[in-house]
Amino acid sequence: MATTEALPAAELLARIGRMADRSLPLWGLSPAARATLINHSENVTYRVDDPATGSRSILRVHRVGYHSQEAIRSELQWMEALRREAGVETPEVIAARDGSAIQTLRSPELEHPRHAVMFTFLEGKEPAEDELLGPFERLGEVSARMHRHAAGWTLPPGFTRHVWDFETAFGPNPTWGRWQDSFGVDKPVLEILGRLERTLGRRLERYGKSRERFGLCHADIRLANLLVDGTRTKVIDFDDCGISWYLYDLGTALSFIEHRPDVPDLVQSWLRGYGKVTRLSREVEAEIPTFIMFRRLLLVAWIGSHAETELAKSLGAPYTQGSCQLAETYLGKFG
């Protein structure tokens, strides 16, 4: 998968930042408008402030080679449908002066052009990690509304998104790269995570992809992609939305906190919220640990293939070692 130019991360971000600032007139912003970096993972995301009007917005500059323009358009279509038809608060797209939702940015400092989208700025804060039971219940309810909408939504012509299943995660051409190539993967790690991968494959095949279990979902609905504003829970960053098991969304909600001792309580809180919209069978609920570990192993791969990001650097080999400990517990029950 093509990703970025062969530049040190700091230099690459500096060049993308200059390109972002130069692009702001495309959206009718004043010469005084500036883009401030707020996140770098798959994409580079900026808060845009225009002192001439007092406006604030969010600019997302896409990673090279991750999504086609058609895939980005599909993402935006679902976000709009969720706002309009399911009561899910998502950012709105701000069209450029030429009326288009997606711009292609170019810079003489960069080899590859990049797609970019401007969104409205939503008020709210990421949930605090020491007060998650309430947010997880609301997240469960929001997730259920999203899944119910997806199950009944007719995909627009040309709709295309990533598929997040066992083959795309751990097959010969994995979307996020091979977990085997990540930080700290030695012979003992290969053995235990290899057993985990094989067990996940068997259980997911048995679980199946029936329509009530598998469909369009957010696929990255973790704490960093939620905004809590009073009693309102807003959902942002649909960049990974795609076709997967609906329970995968619960696995993603626990991203990077799978080791916490209160995870069973968080799961129950999520299920209470989900049950306000639709009930899950005991058979489905019993497989929740599988989707938590499916996501965990995917994140080991992501960290290895995104080693230039600050998040990957901060996690590194300890995250792989922690994954082995969680795998041992999981395999003791399901292996």
Number of Cα atoms under 13 Å in the Cβ half of residue 303: 26
Nearest Cα to Cα of residue 253 among 302, 207, 220: 220
Q: What is the pTM of this model?
A: 0.94
User: Is 186:249 a contact under the CB 8 Å cutoff?
Assistant: no
Whether the CB-CB separation of 112 and 173 falls below 8 Å is answered with: no
For the structural domain made of 133-334, what CATH number should be given? 3.90.1200.10
pLDDT digits 0-9 by tens, 70-106: 999 999 999 999 999 999 999 999 999 999 999 999 9
Q: How far apart are CA 123 and CA 278, in angstroms?
A: 28
Buried b (16+ CB within 10 A) or exposed e, 24-42: beebebeeebebeeebbbb
Q: What is the dihedral angle through the alpha carbons of 248, 253, 257, 263, rounded to the nearest 10 degrees? A: -80
Determine the CATH number of domain 9-120.
Answer: 3.30.200.20
Please name the helix (run of DSSP H) or strand (run of DSSP E) that holds residue 145, with its range, or none.
helix 133-152
- The domain spans of the chain are 9-120, 133-334
Give the residues of the chain that fall short of pLDDT 50. Answer: 1-3
Classify each residue of 136-161 as buried b or exposed e, where b means 16 or more C-beta atoms within 10 Å of its C-beta. bbbbbbbbbbbbebbeebeeeeebbb
Residue 2 has what pLDDT?
A: 40
pLDDT tens column, 19-48: 999 999 999 999 999 999 999 988 999 999
